Structure 1
Amino acid sequence: MNDQDITLSRRRLLGSVGAAGATGLALGGATGALAHSAAQEEAPTALRSVGATAVPFHGRHQAGITTPLQAHAHLAAFDLAPGAGRKEAAALLRRWSRTAGELMEGRPAEDDTAVGRDAGPCSLTVTFGFGRGFFGRTGLRDRMPEALAPLPRFTADALDPDRSDGDLWIQIGADDGLVAFQALRALQQQAGDAARLRWQMTGFNRTPGATAQPMSQRNLMGQVDGTNNPKPSEPDFDERIFVPGDGSPAWMAHGSYAVVRRIRMLLDPWERLPRGQQEKVIGRRKGDGAPLTGGTETTPVDLEKRGKDGTVVIPANAHVRVSAPETNGGAAMLRRSFSYHDGFREDGAPDAGLLFVAWQADPLRGFVPVQRKLDSGDALSAFIRHEASALFAVPGGPGAGEYVGERLLDG
């Protein structure tokens, strides 16, 4: 295929994306896939269906929070450069917002590397957040949310400060690795003299369509993960995950707070543990994710059920019991995490685990109480290490013509 054919093919693909967007394609669900299929002369392959899905940049909430998990991710934190203040931060966020909007539509951004050429939007999302340091450097300490107070130290923490915190945070997700990298590279280059990269981490999940039927993700321990996440269909979902429209501060309306933790899994000792013991540590069957108390993956966990010997079926220190909202005063968060593998350590053990990303309306009512409980009695703690941590205020989605953070920086 020559360059002209590639260009025409890309135009036809993106033309179909644009035509289908108004009928649900932007939601990334079955409706969108069917709409795209109907716009083609022949049924698309699975790969082309994945590539055609677009997620809107503008909206009440930023993309990448309730968006279905993508196969590829990059998390990156930046610090504002010495001498850069509110004016430079606003200019940077304008550039970043324009570029993110273009790439999420499947359009090339100005001066990007185009490594994602020939692909559609591939469910690309770009999400922006602010750390505590951002407010001091921009002279906006008086507008910093109370919910952005530093997270407490936990006894099991072994945090690397060089891979923690940051003034600005970007979360990138896409169902194509090149599309995800193109977004990362474009935004990093556009930081220019205004901001410097502090840390960057790369994650992955299953590719859509890789399993025979839709299911929750599996982590690198082989366990089904995310089953007990709050669901958008639940009446208190928005209350738990998003700052209300009349919340404080006003610029955070419809926003959320992201806790980011790099959690290394000690896979060698975990994999030596018999499967039955692994299931007791978690409280779920490894094969299908069903609770040890029976049923399917989505069957509610029966924390009171006892076996023939009179002991509870779900052990007292099982992860699902210790982290359950019922045992934490109703505390809950939306976990939207990615696995990572960064090679092998000097002792030969894999440097692998979870890029934990948890969303909540207030960390003091979400992550903090749950992690305190886990820190004091979770059987899983023997097989994991928390090695990096950050907390970011993620404002609501920008309206048409707005950039992310405009209500803070121009308000």
Structure 2
Amino acid sequence: METSTDSAVEPGAPSTDSTPAGTPGFTRRALLGTAGAGLVIGAGAGAATALAVERRDRRAPAGADHQAGTAPGLGPARVAFHGEHQAGILDPQQARVQLAAFDLAGGVGRDGVRALLQRWSRTVARLAVGEPADEFENQIALDAGPCSLAVTFGFGAGLFEKTGLTEQRPAGLEPLPAFPADALDPARGDGDLFVQIGADDALVAVHALRVLQRQAAGTAALRWQMSGFGRTPGATATPMTGRNLMGQVDGTNNPRPDEEGFAAKVFVAAGGGQPAWLAGGSFLVFRRIRMLLDSWEALPVDRQERVIGRRKADGAPLGTPADAGERAPVDLNARLADGSLAVPADAHIRVAAPAANGGAAMLRRGFSYHDGLLGDGSPDAGLLFLAFQADPRTGFTPVQRKLSRGDGLSRFLRHEASGLYAVPPGAPQGGYVGQTLFD
């Protein structure tokens, strides 16, 4: 499916604040445009209709002075915790992610959840600027800067009933429908509280998760946890679109955040039929999608390309000239010399085209995962799919229905876990995430 994980930086794009920890002044979170789009595997991730955030190269510039024996680059980079929207939505995607969901303990009511969210918000605000946690600091990331740490919180449907807030439950949290070939494990999905922790250093992300988990003791227990990864900034000579575990360029042909209507596709508008507390927030769909890599890799490259509809080497649409590049427009009417369609009828980019999905759109941040081997010896590997949108009923659901019925790529995917969460707006200075709901 067409969406973006990594995208190249545009000339003049604002850089992430690299002020040393403890000094004042932060670069505000920037809306970033996509630089290219490619395949996004399965899960109805929004295909060519999905939105993307630009991935910037966070290395220190060439020739930058730094002390001998110290590495320039990723450590000091910061993402602001406070703001109109939560961190981890519009920011450049980090190289590592920890995803987790928690279930509330029995008898924990509204006041208990409020206290936990206040505690978590204070902690993340400190970690985001490279300061130690105010409690349960374990020194896992003692030597690292914030490394673009960004933490995003979401509320599952169960939280509203358990806290007596059923009247505030958003209509967009109605359960996702069952899709053909779903093989979902309930123990690895859903949950009352969801946390996305992104960072450019794995220890920084794990440290944040461990601290938050310990702070939740007695209020909420870990339900599930997963780890993912993407391309590390600076891994290529120049910023460029990355690839997923199928070897496909992952992130092409997405609408730009600076295009008209972008915010309306991603964020909940005031008075838009959702509760007032969610204005400026979003909805997040999570899917764990295993790729059948043994079967995929057994296909010749030309067969793989026809399944996707793009050349594997450069991401260019089939039917385009050799030098077209991945950003060349897709011509769904292009024909080969024998008269057959250059982009097959069940190719991923054809089924996922915006015209085929009524304009449904979402902003996707997907991470790869590889958790060893299954009992049959096949890789337990694939995509941790994350998509932010204004309403999943008009975003994820119709796109996934279309893909599950006619996408040739679906033969090589298994949807194994799922979650849906309301993502509250960002926390104001001195406030906490979820304040619009709990105060």
Q: So what's the TM-score if we normalise by structure 2?
A: 0.85
Which residue number corresponds to residue 4 of structure 2?
A: none
- Shift of the alpha carbon at 1:25? 9.2
Which residue number corresponds to residue 402 of structure 2?
A: 373
Change over 3 Å in CA distance of 1:99–1:387 after alignment to 2: same
**Distance in 1 of aligned mates of 2:317 and 2:57:** 32
Change over 3 Å in CA distance of 1:371–1:47 after alignment to 2: farther
**Distance in 1 of aligned mates of 2:339 and 2:190:** 47
**Match 1:16 to one of 10, 13, 20:** 20
Which residue number corresponds to residue 206 of structure 1?
A: 231
- Shift of the alpha carbon at 1:299? 1.9
Contact 2:29-2:90 within 8 A present in 1 as well? no
* Letter aligned with residue 397 of structure 2: V
Which residue number corresponds to residue 176 of structure 1?
A: 201
Contact 2:284-2:388 within 8 A present in 1 as well? yes
Q: Does structure 1 residue 108 correspond to structure 2 residue 132?
A: yes
Q: Secondary structure at the match of 2:197?
A: strand
Which residue number corresponds to residue 281 of structure 2?
A: 255
* Letter aligned with residue 240 of structure 1: K
- Shift of the alpha carbon at 1:246? 4.0
Which deviations, in whole Å up to 9, do the C-alpha atoms of 1:169-224 show, x marking residues without a partner? 00000000111111010011111100011100000011001112222231111111
Q: Which moved more, 1:243-252 or 1:203-212?
A: 243-252
Greater RCO, CA 8 A, separation 6+? 2
Q: Which structure is higher in helix share? A: 1
Contact 2:59-2:234 within 8 A present in 1 as well? no
Which residue number corresponds to residue 320 of structure 1?
A: 349
Q: Secondary structure at the match of 1:373?
A: helix
Q: Secondary structure at the match of 2:414?
A: strand
Contact 1:26-1:56 within 8 A present in 2 as well? no
Q: Secondary structure at the match of 2:103?
A: strand
Which residue number corresponds to residue 309 of structure 2?
A: 283
Which residue number corresponds to residue 397 of structure 1?
A: 426
Which deviations, in whole Å up to 9, do the C-alpha atoms of 1:64-103 show, x marking residues without a partner? 1111111110100000001111111000101111111111
- Shift of the alpha carbon at 1:231? 2.0
**Distance in 1 of aligned mates of 2:347 and 2:69:** 42
* Letter aligned with residue 153 of structure 1: A
- Count of matched residue pairs: 396
**Match 1:344 to one of 373, 392, 402:** 373
**Distance in 2 of aligned mates of 1:331 and 1:45:** 50
Which deviations, in whole Å up to 9, do the C-alpha atoms of 1:89-133 show, x marking residues without a partner? 000101111111111111111222121112111011000000100
Contact 1:262-1:355 within 8 A present in 2 as well? yes
Which residue number corresponds to residue 354 of structure 1?
A: 383
Contact 2:85-2:425 within 8 A present in 1 as well? yes
* Letter aligned with residue 301 of structure 2: R
Which residue number corresponds to residue 55 of structure 1?
A: 79
* Letter aligned with residue 399 of structure 1: P
Change over 3 Å in CA distance of 1:308–1:14 after alignment to 2: closer
- Shift of the alpha carbon at 1:365? 1.1
**Distance in 1 of aligned mates of 2:420 and 2:351:** 23
Which residue number corresponds to residue 4 of structure 1?
A: none
- Shift of the alpha carbon at 1:37? 9.1
Change over 3 Å in CA distance of 1:47–1:245 after alignment to 2: farther
* Letter aligned with residue 265 of structure 1: M
Change over 3 Å in CA distance of 1:29–1:150 after alignment to 2: closer
Q: Secondary structure at the match of 2:360?
A: coil
**Distance in 1 of aligned mates of 2:425 and 2:282:** 7
Which residue number corresponds to residue 68 of structure 1?
A: 92
**Distance in 1 of aligned mates of 2:161 and 2:265:** 28
- Shift of the alpha carbon at 1:42? 3.7
- Shift of the alpha carbon at 1:228? 3.0
Contact 1:284-1:291 within 8 A present in 2 as well? yes
Give unmatched runs, 5+ long, in structure 1: 1-12
**Distance in 2 of aligned mates of 1:63 and 1:47:** 26
Change over 3 Å in CA distance of 1:44–1:150 after alignment to 2: farther
Which deviations, in whole Å up to 9, do the C-alpha atoms of 1:230-286 show, x marking residues without a partner? 321211211111112443211111111110000000000100000000011111111
Change over 3 Å in CA distance of 1:386–1:29 after alignment to 2: closer
- Shift of the alpha carbon at 1:303? 1.5
* Letter aligned with residue 120 of structure 1: G
Q: Does structure 1 residue 79 correspond to structure 2 residue 108?
A: no
Change over 3 Å in CA distance of 1:53–1:285 after alignment to 2: same
**Distance in 1 of aligned mates of 2:349 and 2:388:** 19
Contact 1:25-1:33 within 8 A present in 2 as well? no
Which residue number corresponds to residue 269 of structure 2?
A: 244
Q: Secondary structure at the match of 1:365?
A: coil
Give unmatched runs, 5+ long, in structure 2: 1-16, 32-53
Q: Which moved more, 1:230-239 or 1:195-204?
A: 230-239
- Shift of the alpha carbon at 1:298? 1.7
**Distance in 1 of aligned mates of 2:268 and 2:30:** 24
**Match 2:220 to one of 181, 195, 201:** 195
* Letter aligned with residue 264 of structure 2: E
Contact 2:268-2:390 within 8 A present in 1 as well? yes
Q: Secondary structure at the match of 2:74?
A: helix
